[in-house]
Amino acid sequence: MKITIAILAMLVIVAVAAPARAQDWVFDWTSNGHVAVIGGDWRLSGSSPATFHDGLAPLPPNFATPSSNLNFSANGHDFYGGLVAPGNFQTTGWAVPAPDTPFFGGRFSAGFASGTLTFSDPNDFTLNVLVGSGHAFAELNGVGHRVTAATPEPATLTVGAIGLLGALLHVGVGRPRGRSEHR
């Protein structure tokens, strides 16, 4: 009976620890922009952690795919991004990195944005977004990929499980049942 319990304990340890993987996105981006009134042009690049959250509803122009809220941080600011949908999309309220000056404050946003989001596979995407129009606009281009946090190697898990099995089997070995060692 002890062997059965020990083997089950070992299997549970390996089964629980092996698939425990956290997934995040890394977004490599370039932000280009122009605001004619102040003569402000910029070109910034960076790599940022990013997240996708479920959006509210499908976006124009085709309304065919559900939207997601793409958020990323950069330059000490917590929020950039906005609603996106695979394929072509139009949305409001997008923000992109801009120079950290009194006029921009590190971000450029406008009430209109359009772009293209393409997933080459479930772990990789490309994004192109045009924010604003006319004499005040920005363009964000980037690629993102899902990264997986490190987990213990299978060999480490196996050695640990064997050690646990040995410890469980050692308990009570060599003692006759029902007798005391002292008489």
Query: What pLDDT digit, counting tens, does each position of 82-125 carry?
Result: 889 899 999 888 999 998 888 888 889 988 999 999 999 999 99
**Nearest 5 degrees, angle CA 44-CA 45-CA 47?**
145
User: What pLDDT band is residue 177 in, cutting at 50, 70 and 90?
Assistant: low
- For the four alpha carbons of 34, 36, 39 and 40, in that order, the dihedral sign comes to negative
- Of 111, 136, 132, 130, the C-alpha closest to 38 is 136
Asked if 145 and 119 count as a contact pair (C-beta separation under 8 A), the reply is: no
User: What pLDDT band is residue 151 in, cutting at 50, 70 and 90?
Assistant: very low
Lowest mean pLDDT among 18-27, 46-55, 100-109, 162-171: 162-171
Token pair listed for 90 = 């139009």
Asked if 75 and 108 count as a contact pair (C-beta separation under 8 A), the reply is: no
For residues 148-163, average pLDDT = 55
Kindly report the pTM of this predicted structure: 0.65
Asked if 96 and 82 count as a contact pair (C-beta separation under 8 A), the reply is: no
pLDDT of residue 169: 55
Could you give all domains of the chain from N- to C-terminal order, each with its CATH number? 2-18+151-170 (no CATH), 23-148 (2.40.160)
pLDDT of residue 171: 55
Q: Give percent of the chain above pLDDT 70.
A: 66
pLDDT at position 19 over 90: no
Helices (H) and strands (E) in the chain, counts: 2, 10
Lowest mean pLDDT among 6-20, 35-49, 101-115, 150-164: 6-20
Virtual CA dihedral for 103, 109, 114, 120, nearest 10 degrees?
100
pLDDT at position 146 over 90: yes
